[in-house]
Structure 1
Amino acid sequence: MTAWFEGRLAGFDLETTGVDVENDRIVTACAVQCGGGLPTQSATWMADPGIEIPEGAAKVHGITTERARAEGRPAAEVVEQLVAALAECVLAGQPIVAMNASFDLTVLDREARRHGVQPLVDIVGGDLRVVDPRVLDKQVSRRKGRRTLSDLCEHYEVKLDGAHSADADAIAACRVAWRLGSTVERLGAMRIDDLHQAQIKWAESQGRSLAAYFRRTPGKESWADGVRTEWPLIPAQRDGGEA
């Protein structure tokens, strides 16, 4: 049987207006299919998020409010197409690879509900399988320091072309996932179903550990309440996260 990292992987990444999963919006997105002995296929989108893009966010991904309004497509259209692209991958048996998956998948979920698009989880149900390089790295490596995608690419000697562009980040996340699967025997040997379930437990444990660290760190105590442990996405409340 082919190992999960040797098959087709569906990379996914968003660049957004901020880091609030309930209220921030998608600016750019990428869904890339790679590996499995087939050519890489990539689809990218730029959306007009319908709200101002803060200067801080624009400095990260390079998309200003003016550019998004001029070049971006309607947010509802982008969300619908992105959900459809990811659903096609999932239903074809491909795991979604996303760095810090609970952020990107939750933002996409809330955007879908905001714009009246059927959410990905409602389309694919129990078929969703996710590989999160950040969760895997934190589980297998006890090194100190930051664990951004750039940090992981450097640590695992993976090429990253143009950090903080959705397409570059999506492909890089797949490369890191492949590296983890091919070099860490206990990860590579797991069935994708088992790996997905394991990450749910690992992410919860990692979140609790982070919250505990904040509580005992002067000046960061209040940050603990904002740590979420759900993975691969935060379930929507009854109001659907609408804005």
Structure 2
Amino acid sequence: MKLNLKNPIVFFDLETTGTSINADRIVEICYLKVHPNGNEEAKTLRINPEMHIPEGASAIHGIYDADVADCPTFKEVARTIANEIEGCDLAGFNSNRFDIPVLAEEFLRAGVDIDLSRRKFVDVQVIFHKMEQRTLSAAYKFYCGKNLEDAHTAAADTQATYEVLMSQLDRYPELQNDIAFLADYSSFNKNVDFAGRMVYDDNGVEVFNFGKYKGMSVADVLKRDPGYYSWILNSDFTLNTKAMLTKIRLRELTNK
């Protein structure tokens, strides 16, 4: 099986200091770039998160403060990473809900302007859960017939994710070997922001996806409760969420 690609696609996995999209930091990134002609390029980078790696996180991925003390910060490698994924679609395991939002936050903090909204995102975990409802290790065993050695290392998880997608395409004839189809299929919601605090409804209107205004038009809420915008900007939401909300607010002010 060879992926039917119009653009290169980057399979990637992050190891982080924790599970908070806006508070935690990347300590390792591995990406496997697959070109339309089938050529592959892999790279793994350790990152100094500029904060303590909690013992609970280290117990999972095996990366400790001392391991990254002399590594570059994300800001120091952000432009290189952005250049290498430029023009590529992105794929991962639970990437739509975690890895892509975290990566977007790191780029924003580093001051690197990269428009991820133009990419197609294939989340292999969503495809797996829709089909089988299991974990990456189980998916690797189920689809590929192999045990996942070194689970929770970015390189092993990235390679396994790539192989699982290949096997999913072989196993399920209803899955199209097309990145646009796979991106749509592996999306639970059509997110406005990467964290999914705002989503598009069936009519393509941005609506809030949390809190007291859940399901209500973002534009309408900003008109009737202007203070809600300030509350979000001053609260613990991701930089991307705040940026997308500001974009909607400016659009509505311009259209008045």
- TM-score (ref. length: structure 2): 0.67
Aligned to 1:24: 24
Question: d(CA) in 1 for partners of 2:166 and 2:189?
Answer: 19
Question: d(CA) in 2 for partners of 1:176 and 1:9?
Answer: 15
Question: d(CA) in 2 for partners of 1:161 and 1:10?
Answer: 22
Aligned to 2:125: 134
Structure-to-structure mapping, 1:163-174, within 5 angstroms: 163-174=151-162
> Is 1:113 the equivalent of 2:108?
yes
Choose from 178, 183, 187 the match for 1:196. Answer: 183
Question: d(CA) in 2 for partners of 1:6 and 1:173?
Answer: 20
Choose from 239, 242, 252 the match for 1:238. Answer: 242
Question: d(CA) in 2 for partners of 1:73 and 1:9?
Answer: 25
Q: Is the 8 A contact 1:5 1:182 kept in 2?
A: no
> Is 1:152 the equivalent of 2:139?
yes
CA shift at 1:13, angstroms? 0.7
Aligned residues: CA RMSD = 2.9
Choose from 85, 94, 105 the match for 1:100. Answer: 94
Q: Is the 8 A contact 2:13 2:158 kept in 1?
A: yes
Question: d(CA) in 1 for partners of 2:45 and 2:94?
Answer: 20
Deviates more, 1:160-169 or 1:52-61: 160-169
Question: d(CA) in 1 for partners of 2:141 and 2:6?
Answer: 22
CA shift at 1:69, angstroms? 1.0
% identical equivalent positions:
27
CA shift at 1:31, angstroms? 1.3
Deviates more, 1:46-55 or 1:148-157: 148-157
Deviations 1:148-169 (A, max 9, x none): 2112111212543421111221
Deviations 1:141-190 (A, max 9, x none): 2x5xxx32112111212543421111221111110011111111111x35
Deviates more, 1:20-29 or 1:55-64: 55-64
Q: Is the 8 A contact 2:127 2:186 kept in 1?
A: yes
> Is 1:84 the equivalent of 2:83?
yes
Aligned residues: 197
- Structure 1 gap segments, 5+ residues each: 205-223, 226-233
C-alpha distance 3-27 of structure 1, shift in aligned 2 (>3 A): closer
- Structure 2 gap segments, 5+ residues each: 192-209, 212-237, 245-256
Q: Is the 8 A contact 2:15 2:154 kept in 1?
A: yes
Structure-to-structure mapping, 1:53-68, within 5 angstroms: 53-68=53-68
CA shift at 1:57, angstroms? 0.8
Question: d(CA) in 2 for partners of 1:161 and 1:7?
Answer: 30
More helix by share: 1
> Is 1:180 the equivalent of 2:168?
yes
